[in-house]
Homo-oligomer: A and B are copies of this chain.
């Protein structure tokens, strides 16, 4: 093929693609997350990446967000999923007769958002979601189970985290009690960015909105409360007898007691947790990595009144948590917080010397049968080059098989970590290798 017909190999920008050694680490993280999800009795589903546009756009009444990848195939309007929640809603609405509620499901898969490419933002990324869906009702223990999942997942991943927890009814109720009911959304938008813009700017914005100075102080004070559940709840619980406010307080008290009995660690009450979307209707939570506040929220979630209101008359309340794994992996990678994996997973490389290739494959089958990740270096490179290659791949053991060794059934095993060399039968080699695993 002549040079001028070559297409330059490149991938789309904003799409993560890892080297094999890093992919092993990424896959290990997925395995750990799955293990915790399963251990906590969540069941898997795997919905398609493509959905009918009318499904994914039901919320927006059919109007297409700039971020969404959509296209026509024949006469069919198709969208790529931008989260795993709308597909879950569609799934539960379609299959509600066959599911047992509360339905605990997890899904780990890629989602697509065609946003402006920038560092740390991905157009294709893995979401790891776990949700509990009730039929008509769903008690607060479900919220505690999701928060428990966060704690156990990050422990399994070896990432020190804190989960900040609130209940949106607290601020909803307080706004109502202070007679700003119709301004609730605007007030929450301001309070949500208090950590970014600071207390004084937040106050100015609230005043501009028509909130009285005294009320602004009350709203800001409560938003900044963060720490021990019992202490804070006793400080604020008599602030107003507004029904919605008291509902929030009472749900938080129940949650606090469950967090203790369920042995959930690394939780604080943080009444400043709002989570932008209108979506959430009760408990909300966000996990952060205290040593790296710049990571922002590494896992978020909360309670919603009705999962599938666009698809069914059934009332399906739910609570869920979601980890954006691609972004988290990228942050960990950039901060040298990932375990290192060698360029290969091979534990034993067999290197032929002379005319011993068949014997090498025989030995390789023996070691693989015994569970050792073993391969023969059958390339046409020199013996020296093969040794160098084993070193570069950080293969812990090599077995050198020359014609003499075959004749004596005694082989040359080298521990590449310690530099030790042994002359051993294949069974003794196996013992030696297994002893270091």
Contacts and interface: CB of A to CB of B under 8 A. Distances in A.
B23 A43 contact: yes
A262 B11 contact: no
A378 B139 CA distance: 7
Nearest to A101: B379
A114 B69 CA distance: 17
A94 interface: yes
A49 interface: yes
A407 interface: no
Contacts of A365: 261-263
B141 A361 contact: yes
Contact of A262 (B38, B50, B364): B364
Contacts of A24: 43-44
Nearest to A58: B7
A100 interface: yes
A114 B50 CA distance: 11
A324 interface: no
Interface string A368-386: 1101011110111000000
B98 A19 contact: yes
A89 to B, nearest CB: 8
Interface stretch (A70-78, A165-173, A184-192, A421-429): A70-78
A45 interface: yes
A1 interface: yes
26 contacts: A7-B310, A9-B312, A11-B51, A11-B94, A12-B48, A12-B52, A16-B48, A17-B46, A17-B91, A20-B43, A23-B43, A24-B43, A27-B46, A39-B371, A40-B368, A43-B344, A48-B124, A49-B110, A50-B69, A69-B78, A139-B378, A139-B380, A142-B378, A258-B358, A261-B361, A261-B365
